[in-house]
Structure 1
Amino acid sequence: MTSWPVLVGIGGTLAIAAICAALIAMGLVRPNTIVAAGYPVRGVDVSSYQGEIDWDVLGGEGVDFAIIKATEGSGDQDERFAANWAGATRTAEQTGLLVGAYHFLSFDSPAETQAQNIFDTVPVTDGALPITIDLECYADYCRTPPSAERVASVLDPLLAALEEHYGQPPIIYATMRYYDAFLTGGYAANPIWIRSVITPPVLSDGRAWDIWQFTSRERLDGYVGKEEFIDVNVYRGSREELRALVGR
Structure 2
Amino acid sequence: MHHRPSPRPRPPATRPLLGFGAVLGAILATLTALLAAPAQARGAGDAIGVPRTHTGLAHPERDWLGSSVAAHEGRSTGGDSVTAAASSVPRTPGFDVSNWQGKVDWNAAYKKGARFAYIKATEGTTYKDPTFNANYTNSYYAGFIRGAYHFARPDSSGGKAQADYFVSHGGGWSKDGKTLPPLLDIEYPEGAACYGLSQSQMRGWISAFLTEVHAKTTRWATIYTTTAWWKKCTGNTSLYSANHPLFIARYASTPGTLPGWPFYSFWQHADSGTFPGDQDYFNGPISGLRNLANNE
Shared fold (TM-score greater than 0.5)?
A: yes
* Structure 1 unaligned regions, length at least 5: 1-20, 224-229
Q: Which has the higher strand share?
A: 1
User: Counterparts of 1:244 and 1:143 in 2: how far apart (Å)?
Assistant: 33
Q: Deviations over 1:169-201 (max 9, x none)?
A: 000000121222325322021000000112522
**Aligned counterpart in structure 2 of residue 211 of structure 1, from 235, 245, 266:** 266
Cα distance in 2, alignment partners of residues 30 and 233 from structure 1: 9
**TM-aligned CA distance change 1:166 to 1:125, over 3 Å:** same
Q: How many residues align?
A: 213
Q: How many percent identity over aligned positions?
A: 26
Structure 2 match to 1:16: none
1:32 counterpart residue number: 82
- How far apart are the structure 2 equivalents of 1:205 and 1:155? 14
> SS where residue 198 of structure 1 aligns?
coil
1:244 maps to which residue? 291
Q: 2:237 is matched with which residue: 180, 184, 187?
A: 184
1:124 to partner: Cα distance: 2.1
**Which ranges in structure 2 are unaligned for 5 or more consecutive residues?**
1-73
Q: TM-score, normalised by structure 1?
A: 0.77
CA contact (8 A) 1:36 1:234 kept: no
Structure 2 residue matching 1:151: 3-state secondary structure? helix
Root-mean-square deviation over aligned CA pairs? 2.4
Equivalent in the alignment of 1:232: 279
Whole-angstrom distance in 2 between the partners of 1:62 and 1:116 = 34
Which has the higher Rg, Structure 1 or Structure 2?
A: 2
1:37 positional shift:
2.8
Query: Is the contact between residue 152 and residue 186 of structure 2 (CA under 8 Å) also seen in structure 1?
Result: yes
SS of the equivalent of 1:217 reads coil
Classify the secondary structure of the residue corresponding to 1:120. helix
Q: Report the TM-score, using the length of structure 2 for normalisation.
A: 0.65
5 Å-filtered alignment, 1:1-248, equals 27=78, 32=82, 34-38=84-88, 39-92=90-143, 97-108=144-155, 109-126=157-174, 127=176, 128-142=179-193, 146-181=197-232, 182=234, 183-187=236-240, 188-200=242-254, 201-205=256-260, 207-220=262-275, 230-248=277-295
Q: Which residue of 2 aligns with 1:9?
A: none
C-alpha change, 1:77 and 1:35, in structure 2 (3 Å) is farther
Which AA in structure 1 matches 2:164? Q
Structure in which a larger fraction of residues adopt helix: 1
Any conservation in 2 of the 1:172–1:192 contact (CA below 8 Å)?
yes
